[in-house]
A and B are shown apart, each in its own frame.
Chain A
Amino acid sequence: MMTSKYIAGGLGLLLGLGLVDGKAEAQNGDVERGETAAGTCVACHQADGSGMNVPGGESWPRLAGLDAGYIAKQLHDFKADRRHNASMQPFANMLDDQQIADVAAYYSEMPVTAAQGGGDADEALLARGEQLALRGDWDEYIVSCKSCHGPRNEGAGDTFPGIASQHAGYIKSQLHAWQAGERDNDPQNLMGAIAKRMGDDDIRAVSAWLANQSVAPEQGESQ
């Protein structure tokens, strides 16, 4: 795969890398086919893609409005066991590459739904959450969420998912998974390095604050 050496534009090299982490396959999804293929997803992720915050259990993430490339990469990663989740793996295994692209396109087109799990956070916790999300805490070398996830934490490109208006329970479990080394399918350990510097209170704070953010509906097509 990585036989390409020095290429003036560097594009050949990039392409090679993209295939290694299963990213370059996330293309040409069809929304209508995706709706059919997503038949097995709705039990947890719901018909509107809103997922569900499950206190004390495994929360199901909102997929509605996430970037198609990001969703596709995660599905490929579940299949290849680069991302480990006992609930998701069997379902991901049922999808072929085309179905993954279709399902990803289907959910990416849905409007972002409201998130749960941030309702009972007190003012101080939310203030800490806002700080971490928007400014970070450089004294602990925790960079802000928005420095990668975009100005309003609504996602950046196909690599950094939207996390504003995501369920608190899901964000919390993912950050803990990164801390414990149970999730490591982020490029270059960009999330893992930060998660490992966060305390339990930081994780609670940022999860609650992000869940409390609403995402304005997009004007026109997101593409």
Chain B
Amino acid sequence: MTAHKIPLALASAALTAGMSLATLAEPMPSTVATLVELGYPAPQEGELVHIPPTMADLEKADLHPETKEVIRRGYDLFTNTQQLRGENVFNEMNCSSCHLGEGRQPFSAPIWPAAVTLPSYRGKNDHVNNLEERIAGCFAYSMNGVPPEYGSDDMLALSAYHQWLAKGAPMYPDQPIYGRGFPAPERPEKLSYQRGEELYQAQCAICHSEDGSGLYQDGEYVFPAPWGDGSNNWGAGIVRTETAAGFIKNNMPLGQPLSLSDQQAWDIAYYMTRQERPQDPRYTGDVEETLEKFGPTFHKNSSYGQVREHDSHVLGDHANWGEKGDEVTPWNVGQSRFEDLKEK
């Protein structure tokens, strides 16, 4: 909307939302120019740059009114996932707590790539996942909850919103995707829990609170909890220090991306991921055994099962499931697929 003073001759030309470009033969879209101006890397030659359509674009789109209704429902669930609290969500997070900009934002794990790269193999559960199963994973781990059933209205609506954001992007793209995931800066030689704590208290606590509980005010979500019972459990992607560092570096403090140094982002991530949170739903009853089973595919990048330096606490060594208690278990965890293929 605002006219930007961008020192790029390319910037003025616009790419229609919902379109993709595979090479930089075409001009840089203005939204990407905004990112570059903020210090994000420019797209590399050969990267897939896709500008997801907005909800305003949906109004103008040539889709059946009911299709639009369902996409809107998906958007609403994505940005206010707390409406499923106690049913599918058992912490104080929304999908958009981590996937900023309503799931559209590059370098903030935009969600449209899931719609064009799945079904495909995921190491985390060692089989081929489709979009619904991928979303179900977020519910089991990041929302510390239970996914809506495959094919249910809520699952369909969330899938539809993902696919809407992917509109115009090529299916199974060969090119690497610009701004995918939470790309982490290079890991510094040494990480410091103490520096991380000082930085967290000085730069993060004003919103996320000094004890990591975020802010839930008058029964409503305001700021997400980076740890504790209101946060994601030990199986969520962001418990991996590298992923947390990538999230922080690219997105925090809110509105000031890339303002922390690489060392600062990693130190805060290290501190944050060495706090307690609800148990991993893959927990076998023994932290060592769980680590042995899921270390190679996941926990090798987290602090799970490690001894915290200053108080000798073994991280994840507890049976605290958070708000969902031990009665509620996510049905999707440990579900095998394509056993017949493996036998051959």
Contacts and interface: CB of A to CB of B under 8 A. Distances in A.
B223 A199 contact: no
B217 interface: yes
Interface stretch (B85-93, B96-104, B151-159): B96-104
B38 interface: yes
B120 interface: no
Given A147-B254, A156-B223, A199 B3 contact: yes
B16 interface: no
Interface string B21-43: 00000000011001100100000
B1 A10 contact: no
Nearest to B207: A148
Max count, chain B CB within 10 A of own CB: residue among A8, A128, A148: A148
Interface stretch (A44-52, A103-111, A134-142, A163-171): A134-142
A3 interface: no
Nearest to B204: A188
A13 interface: yes
Interface string B220-262: 1111000000000000000000000000000001111100000
B220 A151 contact: yes
A159 B30 contact: no
A24 interface: no
B336 interface: no
Nearest to B82: A151
Contacts of B100: 138, 143
Interface residues of B, number: 40
B255 A140 contact: no
Interface string B292-315: 000000000000000000110000
Interface stretch (A58-66, A76-84, A190-198): A190-198
Max count, chain B CB within 10 A of own CB: residue among A6, A138, A150: A138
Would you call the interface of chain B mostly helix, strand, loop, or mixed? Answer: mixed
B3 A13 contact: no
A189 interface: yes
Interface of A: 6, 8, 10-11, 13-14, 17, 128, 135-141, 143, 147-148, 150-151, 156-157, 159, 187-190, 193-194, 197-199, 201-202
Contacts of A150: 217, 220, 222
A13 B201 contact: yes
B335 interface: no
Contacts, number: 87
11 contacts: A10-B205, A10-B210, A11-B210, A13-B197, A13-B202, A139-B31, A140-B4, A151-B222, A156-B222, A187-B206, A188-B253
Contacts of B205: 10, 14
Contacts of B3: 199
Interface of B: 1-4, 30-31, 34-35, 38, 54-55, 100-102, 104-105, 194, 197-198, 200-203, 205-207, 210, 215, 217, 220-223, 253-257, 310-311
A156 B2 CA distance: 28
Contact of B2 (A8, A190, A202): A202
A156 B101 CA distance: 20
Given A189-B256, A199-B1, A138 B104 contact: yes
A115 B118 CA distance: 50
10 smallest beta-carbon distances between A and B, as pairs: A199-B2, A138-B101, A139-B31, A193-B255, A10-B201, A156-B222, A151-B220, A6-B194, A194-B255, A13-B201
Contacts of A159: 206
Max count, chain A CB within 10 A of own CB: residue among B1, B3, B100, B194: B1
B255 A190 contact: yes
A201 B1 contact: yes
Contacts of B256: 188-190, 193
